[in-house]
Amino acid sequence: MSLFSPLTLPNGAVIPNRLAKAAMEENMADADHAPSDELIRLYRAWGQGGAGLVITGNVMIDARAMTGPAGVVLENDRHLDRFRTWADTARASGSQIWMQINHPGRQMPASLGRETLAPSAIPLDLGRQSKMFPVPRAMTAADIADVQQRFVNTARLAELAGFTGVEIHAAHGYLLSQFLSPLANHRTDQWGGSLENRARLLLDIVRDARAAVRPAFSVAVKLNSADFQHGGFSPEDARSVVRMLDGLDVDLVELSGGSYEAPAMMGTARDERTLAREAYFLDFAREIITVATMPLMVTGGIRRRAVAEKVIDSGIAMAGMATALAIEPDLPKRWKQGHDDAPALKPIGWKNKALASAAHMAAVRYQMVRLASGRPTRPLVSPLMAFIRAQLTGRRQARAYRAWMVNGAPLRKAGDTAAGMTMRVLGGKA
């Protein structure tokens, strides 16, 4: 199977090739937390770069729950024209464009000044950096129902905006991943205890989202192959959840791993045997493929054509790339032309894994900002310099977000609910 063979998904949609631009958090929303001109320019570069599938960075289902201060929010149709421009731009060269939809749960920075929610009132353990995230409030049944409806509402809005699919984020320690993890989920009700209960919210969201959109609109899930924490979500758990998803008309499952506490998705919490190379999660995916009926995608560290080919040759349907495409957005096109480019950032050897992960993310965002402004990337940028710049920018963006929430975010009327918003979006149809 070639990297440039098309992939037909279970719903009949066709992805032009087996290379995907995986999600990265851009933090490039405009003043209303809609897609900015800079974000749209960035996706023009990726759309023209030759990847068959382009997956957006986090789009938040609730303005009160953000993974970062300048994130994009889609909870009603107020700025749907901006989202249409975003989708049209990314699709212009024939790529599929999927919106990654997410809720951070307890992984919401304290600097944003909002209450955080989680399955249980268990804070993040980041050592000296733990104070950067508040202790969350354990969610009530009403909170859970609201989050479930918000995911469905955002999926339907993404379809109305012209995206060709959504990816429901249940990895990297965000809310749905927290429900799946026995370390973060100590509930004793129908959402806690057994894996079937811990997976209930994810399965209900997938089921309802699939019912709310057209069959041709793709519904995918991003799932951890493991949390890389003792006693956490395990590879065996991942296999079981994929089995549970098999009967729900899921079009693709992307396998990644880790969380803020164990950032394996950045390659910084590595087992020397399985993670100290590209395609970090391929070994785990080979086990999961034995039970999956839907296509699988592996993301994590891929930057060389030979490695991407190894992923596809192993039976995985899609090879996802993130950092490599932040450095060289037309990498798929260059590979197709016969080049063997292998873009990489300057290595980070910091002992503190959480800070090293943050510095890596900062260096990636630095490349994206340059692409969005039409400038060439600088992969050898100092991680420390990128980290400091990101911290200063983040503080400014956090102040702007707090002011927006107080003064400039009429995103919902008093007493409005996600269910009510969905009813209006669907023209009164539940």
Residue 52 counted as domain residue: yes
pLDDT number for residue 262: 64
Distance of CA 198 to the CA centre of its chain: 20
The predicted model gives 324-344 an average pLDDT of 97
Please say if the pLDDT value at position 268 is more than 50.
no
The predicted model gives 312-327 an average pLDDT of 96
Distance of CA 306 to the CA centre of its chain: 25
Backbone angles phi, psi at 337, to 5 degrees: -80, -5
3-state helix, strand, coil in the chain (%, to 5): 40, 10, 50
Q: How far apart are CA 168 and CA 236, in angstroms?
A: 21
pLDDT band (50, 70, 90) for residue 1: confident
pLDDT band (50, 70, 90) for residue 398: very high
Tokens representing 318 are 């899609």
Angle between helices 37-47 and 80-91 (to 10 degrees): 20
Residue 61 counted as domain residue: yes
Please say if the pLDDT value at position 148 is more than 50.
yes
The least confident of 140-149, 343-352, 388-397, 416-425 is: 416-425
Backbone angles phi, psi at 297, to 5 degrees: -125, 140
Residue 2 counted as domain residue: no
Closest C-alpha to 98, from 48, 171, 19, 162 = 162
More confident residue, 422 or 373: 373
Note whether 321 and 299 are within 8 A (CB).
Answer: yes
Note whether 38 and 373 are within 8 A (CB).
Answer: yes
Q: How many domains does the chain divide into?
A: 1
- Give the burial class of 420: count Cβ atoms within 10 A of its Cβ; 0-12 exposed, 13-18 middle, 19 or more buried: middle
Closest C-alpha to 31, from 402, 401, 393 = 401
More confident residue, 321 or 414: 321
pLDDT number for residue 271: 36
Neighbouring residues of 400: CB distance < 8 A, sequence distance ≥ 6: 31, 69, 70
Q: How far apart are CA 306 and CA 313, in angstroms?
A: 10
Residue type, 290: T
pLDDT number for residue 409: 62
pLDDT tens digits along 176-221 = 999 999 999 999 999 999 999 999 999 999 999 999 999 999 999 9
pLDDT band (50, 70, 90) for residue 106: very high
pLDDT tens digits along 155-174 = 999 999 999 999 999 999 99
Residue 159 counted as domain residue: yes
pLDDT band (50, 70, 90) for residue 422: very low
Query: Which residue do the tokens 């040759």 mark?
Result: 313
Residue 264 counted as domain residue: yes
Question: What's the angle, vertex CA 225, arms to CA 184 and CA 180, rounded to 5?
Answer: 25
Residue 385 counted as domain residue: yes
Beta bridge partners of 117: 137
pLDDT number for residue 418: 43
The beta-strand segments (E) located in 103-217 are 117-118, 137-138, 165-170
Note whether 24 and 368 are within 8 A (CB).
Answer: yes
pLDDT tens digits along 218-252 = 999 999 987 777 778 888 999 999 999 999 999 99
Query: Which residue do the tokens 């004793």 mark?
Result: 188
pLDDT band (50, 70, 90) for residue 118: very high
Question: What's the angle, vertex CA 157, arms to CA 153 and CA 158, rounded to 5?
Answer: 115
pLDDT number for residue 128: 80
Residue 1 counted as domain residue: no
Q: How far apart are CA 114 and CA 108, in angstroms?
A: 8
Is residue 118 left, alpha or beta, with left meaning phi > 0 and alpha meaning psi from -120 to 50? beta
Longest dimension (CA), the chain: 57
pLDDT band (50, 70, 90) for residue 279: low
Please say if the pLDDT value at position 127 is more than 90.
no
Residue 292 counted as domain residue: yes
End-to-end CA distance of the chain: 42
The predicted model gives 260-275 an average pLDDT of 48
Sign, CA torsion 118/33/423/158: negative
By residue range, what is the domain housing residue 317? 7-425
Mean pLDDT of all residues belonging to the chain: 90
| Domain of residue 331, CATH code | 3.20.20.70
Share of the chain above pLDDT 90, in %: 79
- Give the burial class of 113: count Cβ atoms within 10 A of its Cβ; 0-12 exposed, 13-18 middle, 19 or more buried: middle
pLDDT band (50, 70, 90) for residue 263: low
pLDDT number for residue 272: 35
The beta-strand segments (E) located in 171-313 are 218-224, 252-256, 296-299
pLDDT band (50, 70, 90) for residue 275: very low
